[in-house]
């Protein structure tokens, strides 16, 4: 596997901004689909009173996990919901009572072995908090006879511009990071841990290195600040020098990759039993007057957060959830914050970039961490040639956006690849 990476501006404007807590909103809207996998069915009805941490949705499907209320209050509506990635599900609207009464069901899980760990992680409602949203209990539930795991890679690269949510987790809650890692390492008997941090975060590297200095099984790795250093296959390779081949998961190479905020959340859950009900969100972008890191209940509207950060809607060209490279454009500012959100960016209106013909410079090919040929993929998609797209391995595109970023002709290569992937799956 090629491991091409590119240099992009970091724009970590909020790195020194301590997380502030957002006041309890008037309402939250909690979608039943917030991660990779099957959506939940509501467990509550309109008119029900709910408390913080109460389970309000679940599913018996394998690739699923429960959804919990982030507030106390009353269920006022259960509507159909279309998320920005086109998925449909139910969405539970709760009118908050402002008291934040905690559910009586909240108690720390008893974890003694792998089975109880996996059960607890599922009950916590945890999915990968770096953005991909893969169910964490499935990632940890490897079959040691088929894929023995010897390496736990903690993804603390946070390579997308602007976002500092993981960084603030490391600086503000380093004990949760380390203790979460140790619980997983001990229960799953994983020999080595690699905490991988880009070298534009020297304070985090120093802090976590000093906290783990006496434990030879934990290594803090300083990575070059390159994009997409945090892509799963890239970070797995840079930590262990093992290549995750086509069609493989990191576990096939004896590796589990977990985001740093995910392990910190899990440690808090192991201590308190409070499931995933809030996120730390970086709010930034040139249309935002007061960039910040803010702790918000899941289900709060993005419009409310943009107002809080002084964003002027009239001057805003686009709003993204996530970073500028891989973030998702949202079409409705009333979209609620979900488990996988770590940033909201509001970008100003500017002159539209003009797309020109491909000049065959090859920069997109040199930039692609998956070793693909974006320019050829674009051509194959324009010709609607599913066989050629398969031959060019469009399925390996990780949607990192590097090809579009480097293209002097401003071609929407990454976006085209997403459409091409959908085209191939529809024409299989």
Residues engaged in binding ligand SF4 (CB under 6 A): 358-364, 367-370, 372, 374-375, 397-403, 406-409, 411, 413-414, 417
User: Degrees (nearest 5) of the Cα angle 258, 250, 182?
Assistant: 35
Distance set, CA 254 to CA 121, 148, 153, 328, 396 (Å): 21, 6, 10, 31, 20
Q: Helix or strand or coil: residue 219?
A: strand
With contact defined as beta carbons under 8 Å apart, do 241 and 7 qualify? no
Identify which of residues 5 and 333 has a Cβ nearer to ligand SF4 in the complex.
5
Identify which of residues 224 and 355 has a Cβ nearer to ligand SF4 in the complex.
355
Question: Least distance to ligand SF4 from the beta carbon of 351, Å?
Answer: 20
Question: Least distance to ligand SF4 from the beta carbon of 393, Å?
Answer: 10
User: Degrees (nearest 5) of the Cα angle 296, 72, 88?
Assistant: 65
Give which of 168, 159, 196 is closest to 181, Cα–Cα.
196
With contact defined as beta carbons under 8 Å apart, do 211 and 174 qualify? yes
Question: Least distance to ligand SF4 from the beta carbon of 399, Å?
Answer: 5
Where are any strands of DSSP class E within 13-70? 20-21, 27-31, 41-42, 49-50, 55-58, 67-68
Identify which of residues 272 and 399 has a Cβ nearer to ligand SF4 in the complex.
399
Question: Least distance to ligand SF4 from the beta carbon of 377, Å?
Answer: 7
Identify which of residues 230 and 291 has a Cβ nearer to ligand SF4 in the complex.
230
Identify which of residues 63 and 361 has a Cβ nearer to ligand SF4 in the complex.
361
The CB-side HSE value for 420 (13 A sphere, CA atoms) comes to 32
Question: Least distance to ligand SF4 from the beta carbon of 228, Å?
Answer: 7
Number of H helices, E strands in the chain: 13, 17
Identify which of residues 108 and 362 has a Cβ nearer to ligand SF4 in the complex.
362
Question: Least distance to ligand SF4 from the beta carbon of 418, Å?
Answer: 8
């Amino acid at each position: 596997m090629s491991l091409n990476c590119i240099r992009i501006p970091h724009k970590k404007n909020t790195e020194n901004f301590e997380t502030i807590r957002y006041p309890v909103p008037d309402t939250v809207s909690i979608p039943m689909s917030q991660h990779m996998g099957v959506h939940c069915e509501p467990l509550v009805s309109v008119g029900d009173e709910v408390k913080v941490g109460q389970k309000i949705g679940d599913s018996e499907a394998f690739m699923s996990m429960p959804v919990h209320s982030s507030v106390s209050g009353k269920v006022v509506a259960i509507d159909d919901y279309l998320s920005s990635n086109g998925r449909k599900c139910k969405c539970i609207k709760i009118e908050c009572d402002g008291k934040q009464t905690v559910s009586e069901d909240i108690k720390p899980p008893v974890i003694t072995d792998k089975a109880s760990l996996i059960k607890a992680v599922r009950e916590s409602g945890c999915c990968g908090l770096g953005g991909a949203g893969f169910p964490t209990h499935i990632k940890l539930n490897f079959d040691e006879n088929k894929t023995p795991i010897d390496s736990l890679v903690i993804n603390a690269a946070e390579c997308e511009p602007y976002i500092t949510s993981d960084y603030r987790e490391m600086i503000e809650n380093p004990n949760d990071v380390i203790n979460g890692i140790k619980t997983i390492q001990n229960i799953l008997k994983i020999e080595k841990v690699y905490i991988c941090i880009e070298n534009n975060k020297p304070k985090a590297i120093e802090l976590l290195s000093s906290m783990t200095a006496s434990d030879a099984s934990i290594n803090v790795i300083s990575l070059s600040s390159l994009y997409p250093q945090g892509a799963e296959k890239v970070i797995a390779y840079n930590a262990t020098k093992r290549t995750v081949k086509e069609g493989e998961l990191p576990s096939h190479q004896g590796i589990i990759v977990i985001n740093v905020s995910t392990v910190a959340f899990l440690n808090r859950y192991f201590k308190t039993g409070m499931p995933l009900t809030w996120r730390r969100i970086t709010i930034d972008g040139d249309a935002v007057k007061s960039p910040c890191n803010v702790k918000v209940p899941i289900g709060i509207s993005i419009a409310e957060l943009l107002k809080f950060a002084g964003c002027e809607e009239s001057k805003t060209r686009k709003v993204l959830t996530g970073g500028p490279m891989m973030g998702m454009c949202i079409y409705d500012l009333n979209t609620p914050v979900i488990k996988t959100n770590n940033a909201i960016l509001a970008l100003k209106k500017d002159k539209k970039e003009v797309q020109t013909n491909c000049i065959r410079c090859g920069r997109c090919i040199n930039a692609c961490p998956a070793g693909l040929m974006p320019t050829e993929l674009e051509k194959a998609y324009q010709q609607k040639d599913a066989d050629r797209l398969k031959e060019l391995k469009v399925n390996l595109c990780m949607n990192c956006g590097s090809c579009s970023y480097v293209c002097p002709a401003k071609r929407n290569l990454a976006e085209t690849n997403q459409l091409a992937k959908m085209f191939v799956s529809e024409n299989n």
